C-alpha cells in the first residue's frame, strides 16, 4: 500500500496483523442486492431529494475501531507451532449417551403413525395396547379426514402462478391484435405457433452498474452530482483551484471519523499523505485517455465536494489509496458508491 511517496510491503510472517489486499476482477464483477440498494438510494436522493428515515443506518466501519481490544500475540505460521502445545478438544461422551437413551425412551412411548397413500386412513398402534380378538388385524384403523394443508388435493388441477397466467393472457391479447391487423388473410396453424414464439417476452436481463449510474435524470431533479477525475499535480488548474476545499474536507473527515486533532490533519499533512506521489504521469498510446499516475476522483454535489477518492491508475489495475467524505452525507454510503463508480 502507498502513503504519500512511501510504498509499504508488510512482512506477513512477522507482523501481528497480516494485511491482505482486497482484489476485485472488475471485468467479471456482478452487483449484489446491497450494491443495487446503494445505487438506488443515491438515485432517489439526486432525483427526488429522498433521505433515508434512519440516517445512521450506514454506520462507518471506522466507528467500530474503539471496540477492538489490542493484543500482543505474535504471528506464528503453521510450521512454527509444536504439536505438544495443541490441546485436544474434550468431549463428554457420557452425557451424550445418556441424552440419546432418554430420547430413545421418549420416542418409544409415542404413537407410531403410518400415513396411507390415499391420505384418508391412518394406522395407529401403541406398544402397550392389547391385541384385539380379530385375528387378521393387530392394529386399529381410524378413518380420519385429511387435515387442511396436508398435501395436495389430487381431485383438483395444480395451482398456477399468477405470473404465468398474466403472461399467457398477454400472449393471447397480442395474438388477437396481430390477427386483426392481417385483413382478409388466413393464418395457418404453423403461422400461429411462430407468432406466439416471436411474441414471447425475452427474459429479464439483470441491470448493470451503468444502468444505475448513467440513467437519465428528470428535468426537475433536486440535486446535481458530478464526478471529476483530477490529476494530482499543482500544475493542473482544476486540482489547484479545488485544493483548499479538498483539504478542508479531509480535515473534517479525519476529526469526525478518526478523532484526529486539527494539528494532525492540516494542509501539510494532507499534502504529504494524499498529494505527494512517487508515480510519474505517463500518457501511453494504448493506455487510458487520462493517462497513468495518481488522481483525485472528486464527487461534486451542487457545486460542493462531498467525497474524494485517491486512486492510482496503473497499467494492469486501479489501486485505491484512500477515501474521505463529508460526514454529513454518510447516509449515502459514499464508500460503497465510490467503489462502484
Return the closest-CA partner of residue 318 out of 291, 284, 280, 283.
Answer: 291
How many other CB atoms are found less than 10 A from the CB of residue 309? 23
Mean pLDDT of 56-60: 48
Could you tell me the pTM of the whole model? 0.57
Residues 6+ apart with CB under 8 A from 265: 250, 251, 254, 255
- Looking at 37-46, 56-65, 202-211, 246-255, which range is the least confident one? 56-65
> Is 50 exceeded by the pLDDT of residue 204?
yes
The pLDDT of residue 107: 55
Instruction: For the chain, state the CA radius of gyration.
Output: 34
Who wins on pLDDT, 233 or 59? Answer: 233
Q: Check residue 213 and give its pLDDT.
A: 80
User: What CATH fold (topology level) applies to the domain 28-54+221-340?
Assistant: Aminopeptidase (3.40.630)
Per-residue pLDDT at 150: 65
* Spatial separation of the C-alpha atoms in residues 233 and 251, rounded to whole Å: 20
Summarize pLDDT for 111-154 with one digit per residue, the tens: 444 444 444 434 444 444 444 444 444 445 555 666 666 666 77
Q: pLDDT at residue 260 above 60?
A: yes
Over residues 158-203, the pLDDT tens digits come to 777 888 888 888 888 888 777 766 645 554 555 555 655 655 555 5
- Per domain, the residue ranges of the chain are 28-54+221-340
DSSP letter for 162, please.
H
Q: Report CA-CA distances (Å) from 136 to 71, 131, 139, 240, 278.
A: 76, 11, 9, 101, 95
pLDDT over 60 (residue 110):
no
What does the pLDDT read at residue 143? 57
Query: According to the model, what pLDDT value does residue 285 have?
Result: 86
Torsion of CA 303, 309, 313, 314, to 10 degrees: 180
34 or 92, which is more confident? 34
% of the chain at pLDDT higher than 90: 30
Which of the two residues, 274 and 119, has the higher pLDDT score? 274
Q: Which residue has the higher pLDDT, 208 or 311?
A: 311
Per the CB < 8 A criterion, the answer to whether 31 and 208 are in contact is yes
Looking at every residue in the chain, the average pLDDT score rounds to 74
- Work out the pLDDT band at 91, boundaries 50, 70, 90: very low
Rounded CA separation 90/3 (Å): 48
Cβ atoms of 307 and 324 within 8 Å: the answer is yes
Contact of 37 with 328, CB cutoff 8 Å = no
* Strand runs labelled E in 186-317: 225-231, 293-301, 304-313
Residue 133's pLDDT is 47
Amino acid at each position: 500500500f502507498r502513503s504519500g511517496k512511501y510504498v509499504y510491503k508488510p512482512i506477513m510472517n512477522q507482523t501481528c496483523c497480516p494485511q491482505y489486499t482486497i482484489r476485485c476482477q472488475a471485468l467479471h464483477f456482478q452487483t449484489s442486492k446491497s450494491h443495487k440498494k446503494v445505487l438506488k438510494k443515491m438515485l432517489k436522493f439526486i432525483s427526488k431529494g429522498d433521505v433515508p428515515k434512519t440516517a445512521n443506518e450506514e454506520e462507518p466501519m471506522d466507528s467500530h475501531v474503539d471496540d477492538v481490544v489490542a493484543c500482543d500475540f505474535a504471528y506464528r505460521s503453521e510450521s512454527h507451532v509444536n504439536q505438544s502445545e495443541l490441546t485436544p478438544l474434550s468431549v463428554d461422551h457420557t452425557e451424550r449417551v445418556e441424552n440419546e437413551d432418554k430420547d430413545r425412551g421418549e420416542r418409544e412411548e409415542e404413537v407410531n403413525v403410518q400415513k396411507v397413500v390415499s391420505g384418508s386412513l391412518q394406522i395407529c398402534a401403541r406398544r402397550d395396547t392389547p391385541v384385539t380378538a380379530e385375528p387378521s388385524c393387530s392394529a386399529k384403523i381410524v378413518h380420519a379426514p385429511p387435515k387442511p394443508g396436508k398435501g395436495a388435493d389430487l381431485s383438483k388441477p395444480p395451482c398456477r402462478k399468477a405470473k404465468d397466467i398474466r403472461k399467457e393472457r398477454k400472449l393471447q391479447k397480442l395474438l388477437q391484435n396481430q390477427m386483426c391487423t392481417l385483413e382478409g388473410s388466413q393464418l395457418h396453424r404453423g403461422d400461429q405457433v411462430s407468432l406466439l414464439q416471436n411474441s414471447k417476452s425475452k427474459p429479464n436481463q439483470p441491470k448493470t452498474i451503468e444502468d444505475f449510474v448513467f440513467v437519465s435524470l428528470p428535468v426537475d431533479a433536486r440535486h446535481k452530482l458530478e464526478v471529476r477525475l483530477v490529476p494530482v499535480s499543482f500544475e493542473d488548474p482544476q486540482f489547484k483551484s479545488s485544493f483548499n476545499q479538498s483539504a478542508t474536507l479531509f480535515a473534517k473527515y479525519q476529526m469526525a471519523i478518526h478523532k484526529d486533532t486539527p494539528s494532525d490533519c492540516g494542509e501539510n499533512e494532507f499534502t504529504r499523505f494524499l498529494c505527494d506521489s512517487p508515480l510519474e504521469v505517463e500518457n501511453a498510446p494504448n493506455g487510458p485517455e487520462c493517462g497513468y499516475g495518481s488522481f483525485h476522483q472528486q464527487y461534486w454535489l451542487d457545486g460542493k465536494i462531498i467525497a474524494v477518492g485517491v486512486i492510482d491508475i496503473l497499467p494492469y489495475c486501479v489501486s485505491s489509496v484512500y477515501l474521505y467524505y463529508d460526514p454529513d452525507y454518510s447516509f449515502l454510503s459514499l464508500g460503497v458508491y465510490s467503489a462502484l463508480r
